[in-house]
Amino acid sequence: MELEDYFEFLDPDDIRIKGHRIGIDDVIDYYLQGFTPEQILEELPSLNLEKIHATITYYLHNRAEIDAYMLRLARWRE
């Protein structure tokens, strides 16, 4: 299974965890605040640790691209 298989790429500014309405930005926000995967699971209990780890790994492998994605989302939400 490829990392990308965990996600639905709905458009350039909407990447969701497959089978959920949760965006990767939700997991990444917690991760960047210093939450462990187990703590993220407590905040987002509909996920499982596999999907949380996949999201964090995807972020770490694509950091520049995902940082830009997160910045676009933050500007859009303002």
Q: Which residues, listed in sequence order, are joined to residue 23 by a DSSP beta bridge?
A: 16
Residues 6+ apart with CB under 8 A from 66: 24, 28, 58, 59
pLDDT (tens, 9 = 90+) of the chain, 78 residues, equals 799 999 999 988 899 999 999 999 999 999 999 999 999 999 999 999 999 999 999 999 999 999 999 999 888 777
